[in-house]
Amino acid sequence: MATETMPQLDDRAWQVPAFTCTEFAQRRTRYCVCVPVINEGERIRKQLGEMHEFADQADILICDGGSRDGSLAEDLLRRCGVRALLVKTGPGKLSAQLRMGYAYALRAGYEGIVTIDGNDKDGVDAIPRFLKELDAGVDLIQGSRFVPGGEAINTPTIRWLAIKLMHAPVMRWASGFRYTDTTNGFRGYSRRFLLDPRVQPFRDIFDTYELLAYLSVRGPQLGFKTIESPVCRRYPAKGKTPTKIGMVRGNLRLIRILFSSATGKYNPAN
């Protein structure tokens, strides 16, 4: 088990969207799992049922972007061992949800955070391994379906090509770390990484998908211990692919974010 002095928390300059918080239990563990969701319906209900097995190893925090589909009923969350439901009421999309969740987690004293999407595409059985890697002193864990032990099931061809031919190569060049799966939202971060003054993730510039790309570049750049860890990502064999990214406008935004991250646009001024 890694031992360290917990970094001093100074949140006076943090920019965090307004949100409401319903707590169902006190903090029980050293680590937490942040699950960003919005209108995921049966997918999040199924996923939480699977995650319940690990609720004694890491507290589960739901980071809701404002769901209106009734999928996050309080009785379900209690049954599945969820510690808190955070509901964003301020502006922003995914990155704003993550800022909300990470701010809550760090203020609560968690030593590390695992993030997993709430659309039931990821194998939740990897969560205990992420926790062990945080315990061993890793600062940034990128889940990868493309490393030994990982699984890429029914990955849409256009996504596979975008990762392999553009996103991963640019991220490798910018960060200096040999990433293989840079768009995967299954990740882990240490407290010391997120609180380092050279990182500053709590800024309004992180609104849509910027924060994911930025942290992946910034961590290795600053010398934080970074690894990829095998995960399973499964897309439906038939039907609509669960995603909030629009085919044209959404992907153009991702390209702009990619190159902004690579060129240091999001780096703190100091």
Beta strands in the chain (DSSP E): 19-23, 31-37, 59-64, 82-88, 112-115, 140-144, 151-153, 187-190, 226-230, 232-234
The tokens describing 207, both together, are: 């609104």
Whole-number pLDDT of residue 134:
98
Find the mean pLDDT for residues 176-205: 97
Return the CATH number of the domain spanning residue range 19-262: 3.90.550.10
Whole-number pLDDT of residue 3:
47
pLDDT digits (tens, 9 = 90+) for 200-228: 999 999 999 999 999 999 999 999 999 99
Under the banding of pLDDT at 50, 70 and 90, the label for residue 244 is low
Q: How big is the chain, counted in residues? A: 270
Find the mean pLDDT for residues 233-257: 70
Average pLDDT over the chain reads 93
pLDDT at 25 over 80: yes
Backbone angles phi, psi at 129, to 5 degrees: -70, -40
Q: Please, which residues have CB within 8 angstroms of residue 58's CB and are 6 or more apart in sequence?
A: 29, 31, 32, 33, 114, 127, 131
Task: Choose the weakest-confidence range: 21-35, 94-108, 159-173.
Answer: 159-173
Whole-number pLDDT of residue 237:
82
DSSP 125: G
Find the mean pLDDT for residues 225-238: 93
Whole-number pLDDT of residue 239:
58
pTM for this model (two decimals)? 0.92
Burial of 261 (0-12, 13-18, 19+ CB in 10 A): buried
pLDDT at 199 over 90: yes
Under the banding of pLDDT at 50, 70 and 90, the label for residue 32 is very high
Find the mean pLDDT for residues 151-177: 93
Under the banding of pLDDT at 50, 70 and 90, the label for residue 159 is confident
CB 21, CB 103: distance < 8 Å: no
pLDDT digits (tens, 9 = 90+) for 35-92: 999 999 999 999 999 999 999 999 999 999 999 999 999 999 999 999 999 999 999 9
Whole-number pLDDT of residue 1:
47
Whole-number pLDDT of residue 2:
47
pLDDT at 242 over 60: no
What is the C-alpha separation between 50 and 176, in angstroms, rounded?
Answer: 35
Extents of the domains making up the chain: 19-262
